Amino acid sequence: MIKEIIKETESNMKKTIDVVKKEFASLRAGRATPALLDKIMVNYYGTPTPVNQLANISVPEARLLVVQPWDKSSLQEIERAIMKSDLGITPASDGTIIRLAVPQLTQERRVDLMKVIKKKAEEGRVAIRNVRRDTNDQLKALQKDGKISEDELKRSQDEVQKLTDKIIKEVDVLLSTKEQEIMQV
User: Is 185's pLDDT higher than 60?
Assistant: no
Q: What is the pLDDT of residues 136-175, one digit of tens each?
A: 999 999 999 888 888 998 999 999 999 999 999 999 999 9
Identify the pLDDT of residue 63.
Answer: 80
Q: What is the DSSP string of 61-76?
A: ETTEEEEEESSGGGHH
- Cα distance between residue 102 and residue 133, in whole Å: 42
Per-residue CA distances from 72 to 11, 47, 152 (Å): 41, 17, 63
Boundaries of every domain in the chain: 2-25+106-183, 34-101
CA torsion sign, 59 to 112 to 108 to 171? negative
Residue 78 CA to residue 85 CA, distance in Å, equals: 11
Lowest mean pLDDT among 1-5, 21-25, 94-98, 170-174: 21-25
Q: Residue 178 — very low, low, confident or very high, per pLDDT cuts 50/70/90?
A: confident
Strand ranges (E), 16-155? 41-44, 47-50, 55-61, 64-69, 91-93, 98-101
Give dist(CA 180, CA 185) in Å, integer: 10
The mean of the pLDDT values for the chain is 87
Q: What pLDDT sits at residue 167?
A: 93
**Rounded CA separation 77/91 (Å):** 12
**CATH 3.90.170.10: does it fit domain 2-25+106-183?**
no
Q: Grade residue 29 by pLDDT with cuts at 50, 70 and 90.
A: low
**pLDDT one-digit tens code per residue, 92-118:** 888 888 998 887 777 887 888 888 889
Q: Are 55 and 41 in contact (CB under 8 A)?
A: no
* Euclidean distance between CA atoms 53 and 182, whole angstroms: 28
Angle at CA of residue 97, ends 91 and 103, nearest 5°: 30
CA angle (18 as vertex; 178, 99 as ends), nearest 5: 60
Looking at mean pLDDT, say which of 34-48, 59-73, 128-142 comes out highest: 128-142
Choices 3.30.1360.40, 3.40.50.300, 3.90.1150.10, 3.40.228.10: CATH for 34-101: 3.30.1360.40
